[in-house]
Structure 1
Amino acid sequence: MSDARFGRSGPIAGPGVGRHLLIVDDDDRIRELLKEYLAREGYRVTGAAHASAARRLLELIEFDLVVLDIMMPGEDGLSLTGWVRSKARLSNTPVLLLTARGEPTDRIRGLEQGADDYMSKPFDPRELALRIDAILRRAGVKPVAPREIRLGPVMFDMERLELTREGAPLRLTEAEAQLLKTLALNAHAPVERMALSPDKADITGRAVDVQVTRLRRKLEVDPKNPRYLQTVRGVGYMLAPDS
């Protein structure tokens, strides 16, 4: 796979802004390269190394599209595609199969299982990004998220990144504001803990836990028994606003 464009510096406002992708591939290098490249195209990207991890994420989080490797240890991508199509909530989630298999019969099997598109390895990430964009355009316009959300007496403006309580401003650090915005854009759906971490070196997620604790002091009446910023055991955190 060519990765020449991965050296580009800084995020861009690409076609994926507001879209959340799930990358399922047991090859760590490919998974991380795709996460980095697609993030630079504006997508929010979560990775899974095998089908069982992908199932857990798909049951908890609403994704706009799944990029799925076929040849994985354990359950393969064809079986997982069939499972996705069998679930009412996921039946319309687009699936792009990505695999080393290039035989026509394999492509036909993938499409028969309900895949929306198919790419063979090796591939150019630019073509993959274009195909993802085309699939999402065919799938329709993503509903526009509300600009503001209400958490009891607290309001959060997602465009201005401003938090107020009954009209009075509450100070947010940049990290707190970005974390709260990510949770707000995925309101009522659990967000993977490490997906909330801007620091890739923080492999424990401890920095996220610290930011969540600080945010709860600003959002909750009783931070030790949170109503709005909830912990989802084994996954991460979820924001449950009133509106």
Structure 2
Amino acid sequence: MTGATAGGRETHLLIVDDDERIRALLRKFLIRNGFFVSCARDAAQARRLLAGLEFDLIVLDVMMPGEDGISLTRDLRRQISTPILLLTARGETADRIEGLESGADDYLAKPFEPRELLLRIAAILRRMPAADHRGPKFLNLGPLRYDTEKGDLWHGESPIRLTGTEQTLLRRLARAPGEAVSRAELIEELGRDSAPDPAEAERSAEHNSERAIDVQMTRLRRKIEPDPREPRYLQTVRGTGYMLVPD
């Protein structure tokens, strides 16, 4: 299985194992077979990666010091639906049942043939519905953090209030970070917004003009940029529109 993709991009796997040698071997093998791979040495590091990145599948060792794989799987299932493949040296029926009951999608006993791991991963991914991949869960803009799923902007623990129009524009730009979005596309996005902020209602007549987009972007820059006159994150693309450039 080479060139593995999900939605036109490399399939991103997270390997969680406390054994550095196994992590390195799995990472090398899976990269050679076309996957994009991140690794974590324990549950705590896995949580940090999952807070900022989106993965297509998690390969998780059960026997880890501290929080074990079963406990982590059970907790993750309350938050995300990312498929999980458990790896363990315990291959008894009761252990497999416990792993599956915790919310894992499959269970592979050690030692295993690398080819079997590939087949198990492929089988899980085939069962998953095609996802509308919209990048990472969070985008960092200097000291600010933008939640791409909720549309919330934070400075540390403090939320930054965005108007309905600003939320719509930032959400559209965040769907394609690093790519130019035309003013026409932004106007169309505003037109599809079914629940505008009441405070913006009096400005609704402005939405169908490119000049209005420029005005809104100026306002948004005041909330995002250290120096709005020299934008670092919300950049103008001459002759086209705007582009969000996160850290």
TM category (shorter chain) comes to 0.5 to 0.7
The residue number in structure 2 matching 1:32 is 24
Which ranges of structure 1 fall in alignment gaps of 5 or more residues? 1-10, 154-220, 230-238
Cα distance change of structure 1 residues 228 and 47 upon mapping to structure 2, 3 Å threshold: farther
The residue number in structure 2 matching 1:54 is 46
**Structure number, greater radius of gyration:** 2
Structure 2 CA distance, aligned partners of 1:148 and 1:54? 24
Could you tell me how far 1:23 is from its partner in structure 2? 0.2
Give the one of 118, 123, 127 matched to 1:134: 123
* Partner SS, residue 86 of structure 1: coil
Structure 2 CA distance, aligned partners of 1:228 and 1:57? 25
Instruction: Report the AA paired with residue 39 of structure 1.
Output: I
The residue number in structure 2 matching 1:227 is 233
Give the one of 120, 125, 131 matched to 2:109: 120
Could you tell me how far 1:151 is from its partner in structure 2? 4.1
- The answer to whether the 8 A contact 2:4-2:11 is kept is no
Structure 1 CA distance, aligned partners of 2:55 and 2:234? 22
Structure 2 CA distance, aligned partners of 1:97 and 1:228? 41
* Partner SS, residue 82 of structure 2: coil
Cα distance change of structure 1 residues 79 and 240 upon mapping to structure 2, 3 Å threshold: farther
Structure 2 CA distance, aligned partners of 1:114 and 1:55? 17
Give the one of 36, 50, 63 matched to 1:44: 36
Structure 2 CA distance, aligned partners of 1:82 and 1:139? 19
Structure 1 CA distance, aligned partners of 2:4 and 2:82? 21
Cα distance change of structure 1 residues 96 and 35 upon mapping to structure 2, 3 Å threshold: same
Structure 2 CA distance, aligned partners of 1:109 and 1:83? 14
For 1:168-227, what per-residue CA distance to the aligned partner results, in whole angstroms no more than 9, with x for missing partners? xxxxxxxxxxxxxxxxxxxxxxxxxxxxxxxxxxxxxxxxxxxxxxxxxxxxx84xx731
Give the one of 40, 64, 83 matched to 2:56: 64
Give the one of 5, 11, 17 matched to 1:19: 11
Instruction: Report the AA paired with residue 233 of structure 2.
Output: R
The residue number in structure 2 matching 1:150 is 179
Matches within 5 A, 1:99-110: 99-110=88-99
Which ranges of structure 2 fall in alignment gaps of 5 or more residues? 135-174, 183-228, 236-242
Cα distance change of structure 1 residues 138 and 118 upon mapping to structure 2, 3 Å threshold: same
Structure 2 CA distance, aligned partners of 1:13 and 1:75? 33
Coordinate RMSD, CA, aligned: 3.1
For 1:12-61, what per-residue CA distance to the aligned partner results, in whole angstroms no more than 9, with x for missing partners? 53467521110000011111111111111111100000000001111111
For 1:119-167, what per-residue CA distance to the aligned partner results, in whole angstroms no more than 9, with x for missing partners? 00001111101111110110122447799963478xxxxxxxxxxxxxx
Structure 1 CA distance, aligned partners of 2:73 and 2:67? 10
* TM-score, normalised with respect to structure 2: 0.54
% identical equivalent positions: 52
- The answer to whether the 8 A contact 2:178-2:244 is kept is no
* TM-score, normalised with respect to structure 1: 0.55
Instruction: Report the AA paired with residue 19 of structure 1.
Output: T
